[in-house]
A and B are shown apart, each in its own frame.
Chain A
Amino acid sequence: MTGSRLLRSLLRIGAMAGKEAIHVRRDPRTLGLALVMPVVMLFLFGYGVSSDLDHIPLVFADQDQSEASRALARAFDGSGEFTVVGRPAPEGVEALFRGGVAVAALVVPRGYQRDLLLGKRAEVQLMLDGADPVVGNQVLAKADAIARVESQRLAGAAFARLQPPLQVKVWTRYNPEGRSALYMVPGLSAFLLAITAVMLTALAIAGEWERGSMEQLFASPVGRLEIVLGKLLPYLVLGLLELLLVVAFGALVFDVPIRGSLPLIMLFGLVFMAGMLGQGLFISVVAKNQLVATQAGALSAMLPAIILSGMIFPIENMPLPLRTISRLIPSRYLVHGLRGILLKGNGLDVLWPDLLAMALFAVAILGLATARFKRRVA
């Protein structure tokens, strides 16, 4: 391409991008989707969809009615982890479980205080609602911890001698508090970028078909690739702004660390966005209709980003077919990459395979979409 042709091509891409920027500026839905949705979603996922449980509703069936059993109840209630929501008789516990009033029940048998005073092992029974295994596991762990503390208090100095000789300490790195936000923000970035890029591109290009302007564009000197690049550029910028917003918001509101390089985060976002924009372009080229493009865009961007990216469900736990499919999902690589950069401070030396996988997807889908994007109206 000669210098003059390249310059004219760049001018046309600029014209397309400028026109698209006006559409974005004048359409509050687009800006809302791109800039307000991330903040709302971050709040929802950061606070609402937290997997950190506290104030777990617990019923306390006290058959002993002693000072020791009341102390045990206070230990649970005062921990902040549990809230005693009822004190039924043991036979009433079942009904409270079924009604969803409580997810745990602590049953203290008769003779609890007596056994303690006699130095015998005093047993209490913890009943769990196991319908949600995540909740069940957390309840078990928290109840166990409170029981240990209570045992220590009761045994006093003697407790030290009862310790087993081998003590296993669990040391959780990167997210020792197990805070959901740290886990969720990188995942949410992938989800938001995917949905914004695919939906906006699908809508923008399908809109050209629907309003008939594509016919006019095709008859003008602007080339196919120029149309594609000009239309995608503003959304690329918007997507990167969105990524910055999510990362900044995550850091400020949820104390998500940024241990790695910010430019590397942007590079990951850029390559991921290129693939997602290509996906949106492909959908709109095939659909040529905003309604169909919206539905196809939402399905193809949201479901894989939520289910197969590792954002919520660990990929390691998936059956082999799903694990294999997840390798084709760019969100998987962005989630892994962003967690690595943000939480562990990883660099390209560790994360290059993720970047390469996303780049391959981007090249393939943009190539496929541009090839399908024919200069024909029928």
Chain B
Amino acid sequence: MQERSSSAAGQPAIVARDLRRRFGAVQALDGLGFTVARGELYGLVGPDGAGKTTAIRALAGLIDLDGGEARILGLDPARDGAVRERLGLMPQQYSLYRDLTVGENLRFFGRLATLPAARYRERAARLLALTRLAPFVDRRADQLSGGMYKKLALSCALLTEPEVLLLDEPTNGVDPVSRRELWALLHEFVDGGMAVVISTPYMDEAERCHRVGLVHHGRLLLEGPPGRLLADFERAGHARPTFEELFIDSIGRAA
């Protein structure tokens, strides 16, 4: 994957600076920080409970932070409602309406974004074609397979063609073919200038990102383009390393 730098494209589209948030005894975010440029796909990679979902929610302005700041396109997502006009989110859990059809779900989110009818039709048709959901437009969401459901959720998030897209474990529970299709779809939009943060527990998916941040206990252990991270790790004496080995090694050194 080609490396892209957040500084190269001017002001970062996404800024997470020293994010802190505690839930009871759990420090979900413990000074997490990273930036993402326009046209960059940034992967937040880490195991369950690492703080990925909390980080995505903080970037979307859906939780109050104990410390640090999040900025989307220079705006505070927790305070400035204008952010939501330019932001797309695909939450980790099933977030669509299961008793609505594919078409009705898309239409609903199109109407929430007050898309003009012609633009909605054009975008919906394109997304349905890209995701190959067109034949299922009248099928209820609760009758879709896991992969189809995720593609629909992604389509709903992409309908407004947001400048910033936040995806929380979009490939969780999705078959390999659908995963490949989802990534291909994402890259098509990122190539158009969209800034994307994607969280995933799958280490193999890190290689599909321009840059990755390895997250553990709400902190960034390691960050950089996946190829360079692996090359550095190999130079440190690990033959043909995988991301999983790199991650486990990083946790061990952090402890």
Contacts and interface: CB of A to CB of B under 8 A. Distances in A.
Interface stretch (A209-217, A255-263, A361-369): A209-217
Given A19-B97, A211-B94, A378-B23, A220 B60 contact: no
A23 B99 contact: yes
Interface in A129-182: none
A349 interface: no
Contacts of B108: 15, 18-19
Contacts of B139: none
Interface stretch (B40-48, B61-69, B242-250): B61-69
Given A215-B62, A220-B113, A377-B63, A27 B99 contact: yes
Nearest to B140: A26
A219 B62 contact: yes
Contacts of A18: 108, 111
A15 B99 contact: no
Interface stretch (B4-12, B84-92, B127-135, B228-236): B84-92
B2 interface: no
A219 B108 CA distance: 14
A212 B23 contact: no
A19 B57 CA distance: 25
Nearest to B98: A211
A377 to B, nearest CB: 5
Interface residues of B, number: 32
Given A215-B91, A220-B109, A376 B114 contact: no
Residue among B62, B64, B166 with most chain A CB within 10 A: B62
B62 A218 contact: yes
Contacts of A22: 99-100, 104
Interface string B186-223: 00000000000000000000000000000000000000
A15 B117 CA distance: 13
Contacts of B88: 219
Interface stretch (A6-14, A66-74, A107-115): A6-14
A221 B84 contact: yes
Contacts of B95: 211-213, 215-216
Residue among B85, B91, B109, B114 with most chain A CB within 10 A: B114
A315 interface: no
Contacts of B23: 378
Contacts of A213: 95-97
A14 B94 contact: no
A12 B93 contact: no
A292 to B, nearest CB: 19
A215 B93 contact: yes
A330 to B, nearest CB: 31
Given A19-B100, A219-B84, A375 B62 contact: yes
Q: Which 9 A-B pairs have the closest CB atoms?
A: A15-B111, A219-B89, A212-B93, A216-B95, A215-B91, A212-B95, A8-B114, A377-B62, A221-B84
26 contacts: A11-B114, A12-B111, A15-B112, A16-B112, A23-B99, A27-B99, A215-B57, A215-B95, A216-B91, A216-B95, A216-B96, A219-B60, A219-B62, A219-B166, A220-B109, A220-B112, A220-B113, A221-B81, A223-B81, A375-B61, A376-B62, A376-B63, A377-B62, A378-B54, A378-B57, A378-B63
